[in-house]
Amino acid sequence: MDSLSEALKQVFVKPFNAKYLFLFFILFAAEILLTYALGFALSFLIALALVQDSSILALAIVCFSGIVIIALYLLVLVLVGGIGLNIARDYLQGKEFSIQKAFEKSKPRFQSAFFQQVIFLIILLVFFAIVFFPLVSAILDSLLWQGVSAQFSMDSLVSSILEAAGQDALAFVAGILVSVLAALIFIPAIILLRQVVFFEKVSAIESIKRCLKLGFKNFLTTYAFIIIFAIVVIVGTVIGSIISENIAIAGNNSDSLYLAFSFLVSIGVQFWNSAIALLFAVKVYDLNVSKTPETVAEEKKPVRKFAGKKKK
């Protein structure tokens, strides 16, 4: 198990490696392109739904397309996340690392990782449905009424959400406070989800249970690591935003060269934050795990002694 100071050192010093940054750039670009493609597909399907004569058909298209796009997005996160985590882990351990090796390590865990994300998403939806029950109930009533009366539209859906939130503002604020409190309590466990499922041979459900166990094992140390990392990232992001904005202002917000350079600075800050976030993810796992269940199991196995052949 690493110390907090050693973990911080490896997160903020290790990124200065050309090969690691290059491989991460490939993953970073792939994730952005795939995410934008899925976003475009969702926008297209919603636009297609809005031109339907039947409001029930429109609602069905929106729901179905939303589920498909979310599933595909989870696949993208699992694929890119698994490869990225294994690259970062091999790099931090001083081993040879490549996209191919990381893919081979991640490949047996993709199914469990996907189901883990689906289960976690369902848990979140159930939690929010309970916490924001008055709001959810009002929205469902509105959707049902729109479906029956053939008046479905995105504007009416948004209006229903705002109206429901305004009618029971106290319950809405209470729901937000409960959600924030739950996030603050469980963030040390949530932040370990992908690492556990990719670094340990556990099922989707077992990985969630193990995250809860690990998350509260070194609660204060993990929280300190998260807070320090967040502060550094926020400060770096603010500085990058100021530089980017000043570059755009220097070009009077119209010079294409200045705007392009300003955009590159913004992307560069985002890229750097994502690159060190992978290292952070690995080290926050190492901070809580000295031995994996597989390592302990191997140590408990009896040593087999091979006796020589007996002479006749």
How confident is the model over 143-162, as pLDDT tens digits? 555 554 445 555 555 666 66
SS3 for 17? coil
- How do residues 37-71 score in pLDDT, each as one tens digit? 888 887 777 776 666 555 666 667 777 877 888 88
Note whether residue 51 is domain-resident.
no
- How do residues 81-116 score in pLDDT, each as one tens digit? 999 999 999 998 889 999 999 999 999 999 999 999
In degrees, to the nearest 5, what angle opens at C-alpha 180 toward C-alphas 158 and 222? 140
Domains: count for the chain = 1
pLDDT at position 112 is 92
Residues 236, 240, 241, 247, Cα dihedral to 10°? 160
CB 120 within 8 A of CB 208: yes
Is this structure's pTM higher than 0.85?
Answer: no
- How do residues 123-150 score in pLDDT, each as one tens digit? 998 998 888 776 667 666 665 555 544 4
Which of the 8 DSSP states describes residue 95? -
Q: Give me the residue label for tokens 């690259």.
A: 87
**Residue 114, Cα to own-chain centre: how many angstroms?**
12
The average confidence (pLDDT) of the chain is: 79
List helix spans (H) across the chain: 4-13, 18-50, 55-92, 99-106, 110-131, 133-149, 154-167, 169-190, 193-199, 204-215, 219-250, 256-288, 293-300
Q: Which of 77, 284, 74, 283 is closest to 191 using CA atoms?
A: 284
Cα distance between residue 278 and residue 291, in whole Å: 20
Note whether residue 185 is domain-resident.
no
**HSE of 134 in the Cβ direction (CA atoms, 13 Å)?**
15
Q: Would you say residue 301 has pLDDT above 70?
A: no
Q: Would you say residue 299 has pLDDT above 70?
A: no
Q: Give me the residue label for tokens 């008055």.
A: 134
Note whether residue 143 is domain-resident.
no
SS3 for 299? helix
Q: Would you say residue 226 has pLDDT above 70?
A: yes
- How do residues 241-276 score in pLDDT, each as one tens digit? 888 888 777 767 666 777 777 778 888 888 888 888
Of 4-8, 105-109, 225-229, 300-304, the poorest mean pLDDT is in 300-304
Q: Would you say residue 303 has pLDDT above 50?
A: no
Note whether residue 309 is domain-resident.
no
Note whether residue 280 is domain-resident.
yes
Note whether residue 19 is domain-resident.
no
Higher-confidence residue of 257 and 183: namely 183
Cα distance between residue 279 and residue 10, in whole Å: 8
Of 61-70, 117-126, 193-202, the poorest mean pLDDT is in 61-70
Mean pLDDT along residues 179-198:
91
Q: Would you say residue 121 has pLDDT above 80?
A: yes
Residue 242: which domain range?
218-288
Q: Which of 75, 78, 49, 92 is closest to 285 using CA atoms?
A: 92
Higher-confidence residue of 79 and 147: namely 79
Higher-confidence residue of 263 and 122: namely 122
Higher-confidence residue of 17 and 306: namely 17
- How do residues 271-290 score in pLDDT, each as one tens digit? 888 888 999 999 999 888 86
